[in-house]
Each structure stands twice: as structure tokens, then as C-alpha cells.
Chain A
Amino acid sequence: MKEFLMLIREDANYGEMSADEMQACIEKHYSWVETLKKNGRFKEAQPLEAGGAHIRGKQRIVSDGPFLEGKECVSGYYILLAESLEEAIEIAKGNPDLDWDRAVEVREIMPMED
């Protein structure tokens, strides 16, 4: 089984989602993750804080990341387990975030060379 990093990209502003809609979003995720766990396809998942810093180059220039308001940025990640990239893509397509027009990115984590 290979490991895949799935990044969730979204606009950190939830806009006009209502209480009911937010609850629906949580519930869909919950049951999706439960299914992944049951099928042995889930390793871990974490949300990321909206704040953070961007540090660049030899001079270590620190700036606010493009993490706030109105810009699409990485809001969390999953480590998925799958046999192939194709399977990982199929799993990722099931992520309910896509129903809210967010984007996900799936990358295989390179295994250590033995």
C-alpha cells in the first residue's frame, strides 16, 4: 500500500454558509472518513490554522502567507492509503469538500529507497 498526501485548497472565508449547511458538510465528511477507515484507506488528517508565515531564500525573508481572506490556500491535509495513484484519485473524488467547490490535490509520498 502506498501513501498519498491529499491537500485541501479553499477560500478560508466560508461566505454565506448557513448553520444547517455547515452541519451537513461536517456530517458528510464524517461518514466519508468512516468509510475510508473501514476500507483501510485512511491514515490521518488535520486542518491547518489560517494564519502562518512564508519564509524565503538565503535572507530568510518572512512575510504573511497568502493564507487569509478571499484567497484559495491549503486548509488541511489527509494521508490516504491506496494501491496506485489512480485509486488515490478515485478516493479523492469522494471528498465532500468538492461538493462545496473546493479543490483537492493528490500526490504520492515517495517511499524511502531500501
Chain B
Amino acid sequence: MDTSGQLAAHFFREHSGRMVASLARVYGMAHLDTILDAVQDTFETALTHWRYHGPPDHPRAWLSQVARNKLINALKRDARHSYADEAAAPLHALSTTDPDPALADEASTDSQIQLLVVCCRPALSERDRILLTLHILCGFGIPELANALQMNREAVKKALQRSKALLRQKPLTLGQQSLADVAPQLPTVCTILYLMFNEGYKSTRNSKGIDVDLCYEALRLTKLLHPVAPPEAEVDALLALMFFGVARFPARRAAYGDWIPLEEQERALWDRRLIAEGFHYLDQAQRRGHAGKYYLEALIASYHCAAPRFDATDWGAIHRLYRLLENMEPNSPLIRLNRLIAQSYALGPLPVVSELAAFKGDGSAGSAFLLAATKAHVYQRAGYTAQAHAAYEEALSLAQNPLDKQLIRKRMEASKSAATIR
């Protein structure tokens, strides 16, 4: 805590995950709900006091101590109410005065990793795992989750209840496993963090600011895994990919909220420090020599970040990398679409027109929009004005958010005026 009385950015959010993890480790996953309540309650107490007096000298210690006391009191209260639960509540551990080694910082990183493994258990759907992780490890409330994942609040609430019930039913013995024991599960955790990041990256096209936070949270949690994950989890490559992504955030949004596509971005706005971090992790990934999906994606992102201008992009290299990715995941329409885009820049739009025209997406609304928008753009560049116009109309009807609509309209205008000049 510095003397200015200011808290680190997102201090509450980060510390929320830390406290839940440490408390779950000591008192057990069976008490997850009580733990979450105690932590929420702790922040409310902090809000009451700190609002008037400013944060204390040691805000971390203050919060941890208060949360622990609140939890112990709640567990004692519960234990008095039901004898049946007494076995579950380790009453001997319920002393508010003992020093608590589990709340030390290193231990809390380990607990967070273990809790992350629990939240990312394959028994839950991918979306439920993202929700649960954001809720439990990142302190996201229901409105924030609804906003970030574009769900309604009721649906978020129900999904969380369902997931938490499952965690209570089959509580993992958190803390009894060593980090080596959970290592084999870390690739699954990485998949969820990758999806969480993409979810945030995708929705930075919405008007709310929360989505950027999703990316930063995914990045923070991936960093926790870095020292302990096995090579096949590709944590280095995933971190590189994430850094290359967040580095470009400042350029993706115009002052008036429009979403700006790669080719029009002001590259001077890209964050060079974050790009350097990306290259640092890419380098580490290269040394580990595990060329998986994240590595290929990170390499592609690195080519974009290294290009001083859009028309100086090494599309040949990017095209080859997408081919490799496509071999790895032949059923992903998104990868194939991206390969076609890269190909259209590497070899010109004409060679991809027929493949694009025959392309069927996976039927989801999001991929149908991207497909139509890509078709429109490629047709336009190939000089097929009428087909481009029809595809733009289709994209417009499929667009799910106002910023996508705006972008398509802008491109339509541009193609019309280009046609008139010609």
C-alpha cells in the first residue's frame, strides 16, 4: 500500500479470487456458498468504512482477516443450526486468533490454481466454466457477467446455481492435492482461459467496457499458471497470443465508439510494451518446442504486430500458418474463413472467390455474419460489385450488434462511392 491511499487497479476483484481460494482450501469446497457470501460481505464492510476513512495501511491483511472472521462466525452459526453439518465444518479450525499460513501470498497462488482447476472441470459446459471462473476467481457479479457474456441476469444466476451445486456435490479435496497432481488438468484450464479471452476480444465490439476486463482477467489467470503448467498446456504461447491481442486494444475503438477493422487501425496506438511482452513469451514458447494451436495463433498475431502498415503484412507467412492450423482443426469454420482471408491478401481475391461462394458455415448466427461480411469484402475487392452488395445486405441482416452494423454500412457506402467513381 503506498502513501497516496490509492488501491491498485482492480485490487478488490483480484483479491476476491485470492480470498475465496485460500478460504476454500482451509475450510473446504463444501462451504463455497458461505465463503462467497463472507467475501462479498467483507467488501461491503470495507465499502462502509473505507468510504469515510480511506483504505487502511495494509488493505490486503485487513480484508483477509475480516473475511476469515466473517466466515468462521457464519460456519459456527450454521453448525449450531445443524448437527448433521458438524462433520463438514472443521470446528477445531475455527479460531479467529491463530495465524493462518494458508492466507500467505505464495499459498494463495497455489490455492487459486487449484480452485481454477475445480472451476474448469470438464463436467461443466464451457460457458458454465467461464462463468464460474469469472464469478469465483475474479469477483464478477451477476450484472457484470450478464453484460460480459451477453446473457440475461436470470440465466446467469441459474447457471451459477447449477454449477455451484455440482461443485458441492463432488467437492474436490482442495489443498490435499499438490500442484504436480493438478498439472495434467492445466491444459483444460488453458482452453477455458483461451475461450474467456476470445469472448472478451469478440465483445470489445460492444459498447460496454467490461469486455476488456475479461481479456485482462484471462491474462492474469494464465500468468498464474505459467510457472507450473506442463509444456503441452502451451502457456507461453497462450500468453504471447494474449499480449499481442491486448496490445492492439487502444486502436480497435474510435473515440466515437466505432469498431475499427485491422486494416484501418492507427498502428501507432498499439502498445509497444505489450507487444514486446508478447515476443518475450513467443520466444519462450519457441524454446519449449511444442508447436500447438496457441503457438500457431501467436505466430500469426506476431506477424500482424510486426507489420508497420496493413499493406506491409506478410500475408504469405500468415496464409501458410492458417493452413497448418486448418490441418490441426479441419472442422473449424472460423479458421478456414481466416485462412481464406489471408489467402485473398496473399494471392489476390480472385482465387478464393469460388471457394468462398461454396463455403457453408456451421449454422451459428455469429459465423454466418462473419461469412457474409467476408464474402462481401472479398467480392468487392475482386470487382464483383453486385455480389458484394448482396453479401453486404445479408451481413447487415445477420449483424447482432450495432457496431457490426455500423461497420458494414460504412463499407457499403465506400463500395458504392467506389463504384460511382468507376
Contact = CB atoms under 8 A, between A and B. Distances in A.
B52 A47 contact: yes
Q: Nearest 9 CB-CB pairs, A to B?
A: A18-B141, A19-B139, A19-B12, A23-B12, A29-B51, A26-B50, A22-B47, A45-B52, A19-B13
B155 to A, nearest CB: 15
B47 A25 contact: yes
Contact of B144 (A14, A20, A34): A20
A75 B16 CA distance: 25
Given A17-B47, A27-B6, A34-B5, 12 more contacts: A17-B141, A18-B13, A19-B141, A20-B213, A23-B11, A25-B51, A30-B5, A30-B6, A30-B50, A47-B52, A75-B48, A76-B51
Contacts of A27: 6-7
Most buried by B among A18, A19, A23, A27: A19
Interface string B1-41: 00001110011110010000000000000000000000000
Nearest to B153: A16
Interface residues of B, number: 27
B143 A16 contact: yes
Interface in B136-162: 139-144
Contacts of B46: 22, 26
Contacts of B144: 18, 20
B44 interface: yes
A46 interface: yes
Contacts of B50: 26, 29-30
A104 interface: no
B292 interface: no
Nearest to A76: B52
Most buried by A among B10, B12, B213: B12
B120 to A, nearest CB: 21
Classify chain A: how many residues form its interface, as a range: 20 to 34
Contacts of B140: 18
Given A23-B7, A23-B10, A47 B141 contact: no
Interface string B122-146: 0000000000000000011111100
Given A18-B141, A20-B10, A23-B13, A30 B48 contact: no
A79 to B, nearest CB: 12
A53 B47 CA distance: 23
A108 to B, nearest CB: 21
B230 interface: no
A33 interface: yes
Contact of B51 (A17, A20, A21, A47): A47
A16 B141 contact: yes
A34 B54 CA distance: 9
Interface string B326-360: 00000000000000000000000000000000000
